[in-house]
Amino acid sequence: MQLDVDFISKVLGNVHMQNSPFPQESSFSIDTRTIQKGDVFIALQGERVDGHDFVEEALAKGASGFILSTTKKNILLQTFGKQLSEKHLLFVDDTLQALVGLAKNWRSQFTYPVVAITGSVGKTTTKEMVKNILQASGKDYLVSSGNQNTLVGVSLNILKMRSHHQYAIFELGIGKRGAMNELVSLLRPTYAAITKIGHSHMEGLGDVSSIAYEKRQIFSCFKDSDIGLINGDQSELSNIAYAHPVIRFGFKTTNQIQARKIVISHNTITFTAKIYNQKYSVVMPGCHEGRVLNALAAITIGYILKISNDVLIKGVSQPVIVNGRFQVLSHASGSILINDAYNSNPDSAKASLLAFHAYDTDKQKIIVFGDMLELGDDTSFWHRQLGRFVAKVKNVSHIILIGNHVHDIQKTLPLGVKSTLFSSIDEAYELLKNMLLEKNKVFLFKGSNSVGISKLVEQLQSL
Q: With respect to residue 98, please indicate whether it lies within any of the assigned structural domains.
A: no
Q: Is the pLDDT of residue 1 over 70?
A: no
The proportion of the chain whose per-residue pLDDT surpasses 70, expressed as a percent, equals 100
pLDDT of 15 > 90? The answer is: no
For residues 277-282, average pLDDT: 97
| Residues 398, 306 share a domain | no
Q: State whether residue 202 is helix, strand or coil.
A: helix
CA atoms within 13 A on the CB side of 62: 8
Q: Is residue 192 located within the same domain as residue 288?
A: yes
Q: How many folded domains does the chain comprise?
A: 3
Q: What is the mean pLDDT of residues 81-100?
A: 94
Q: Are residues 278 and 148 in the same domain?
A: yes
Does 16 score more than 90 pLDDT? no
Question: Where does the pLDDT of residue 358 fall: very low under 50, low under 70, confident under 90, or very high at 90 and above?
Answer: very high
Last residue in a domain, options 92, 122, 156: 92
Confirm whether 101 is domain-assigned: no
* 10 or 73: which leads in pLDDT: 73
Reported confidence tier of residue 362, pLDDT bands at 50, 70, 90: very high
Compute the mean pLDDT over every residue in the chain, rounded to the nearest whole number: 95
Instruction: Read off the CATH number of the domain in which 264 is found.
Output: 3.40.1190.10
4 pLDDT tier (thresholds 50, 70, 90): confident
**DSSP character for 373?**
-
pLDDT above 80 for 24: no
Asked whether the predicted pLDDT for residue 159 surpasses 70, the reply is: yes
Beta bridge partners of 247: 229
Residue 5 confidence class, pLDDT cut points 50, 70, 90: confident
What single-letter DSSP state applies at residue 390?
Answer: G
- The three-class DSSP label of residue 384 is helix
Taking alpha carbons only, the member of 174, 246, 248 closest to residue 205 is 174
Rounded to whole angstroms, the Cα distance separating 446 from 343 reads: 7
Q: Decide the pairing of beta strands 336-339 and 441-446.
A: parallel
User: Are 53 and 144 in the same domain?
Assistant: no
% of the chain beyond a pLDDT of 90: 91
Report whether pLDDT(90) > 70.
yes
166 and 65 housed in the same domain:
no
Judge whether 271 lies within some domain: yes
Is residue 304 within 8 Å of residue 230, measured between CB atoms?
A: no
Q: Are 45 and 52 a contacting pair, CB within 8 Å?
A: yes
Ranges of H-type helices in 114-267: 123-137, 151-158, 179-187, 202-205, 208-216, 235-238
Same-domain pairing of 114 and 78: no
Among 92, 120, 155, the domain boundary falls at 92
Short-list 178, 160, 22, CA closest to 87: 22
Contacts of 412 (CB under 8 A, 6+ apart): 384, 385, 387, 388
351 and 449 in a single domain? The answer is yes
* Nearest of 95, 99, 55, 49 to residue 77 by alpha carbon: 55
**100 falls within a domain:** no
pLDDT attached to residue 10:
87
Q: Which domain holds residue 375?
A: 327-461
133, 271: one domain: yes
What DSSP string runs through 305-337?
A: TT--HHHHHHHHTS----TTSSEEEE-TTS-EE
At 33 the pLDDT is: 95
Please state the rounded mean pLDDT for residues 445-460: 96
321: in domain: no
Q: Tell me if residue 176 falls in helix, strand or coil.
A: coil
Instruction: Examine the domain organization and report whether 239 and 163 are in the same domain.
Output: yes
Contacts by 25-29, CB closer than 8 A, 24 or more apart: 26/64, 26/65, 26/159, 27/159, 27/160, 28/67, 28/99, 28/156, 28/159, 29/58, 29/63, 29/156
- The DSSP call for residue 204 is H
* pLDDT band, very low/low/confident/very high, at 368 (cuts 50, 70, 90): very high
Q: pLDDT band for 340, please (50, 70, 90 cuts).
A: very high
Whether residue 103 is contained in a domain is answered as no
The DSSP-derived string for 38-88 is TPEEE--B-SS-BGGGGHHHHHHTT--EEEEEGGGHHHHHHHHHHHHTTSE
Give the CA distances from residue 83 to residues 60, 274, 357, 393, in Å, rounded to whole numbers and listed in that order.
10, 59, 57, 59
Domain boundary at 66, 92, 118, which? 92
Which strands form 65-69's sheet, in the order they lie side by side? 16-18, 88-92, 65-69, 40-42, 28-29
As to burial, measured by CB atoms within 10 angstroms (0-12 exposed, 13-18 middle, 19+ buried), residue 85 is exposed
Burial of 75 (0-12, 13-18, 19+ CB in 10 A): exposed
Shared domain for 285 and 358, answered yes or no, is no
Evaluate whether residue 451 is within a structural domain. yes
Report yes or no on 13 lying in a domain.
yes
Q: Are residues 306 and 349 in the same domain?
A: no
Q: pLDDT at position 384, please?
A: 97
Same domain, 279 and 305: yes
CATH of the domain at 346: 3.90.190.20
CB contact at 8 A, 282 and 317: yes
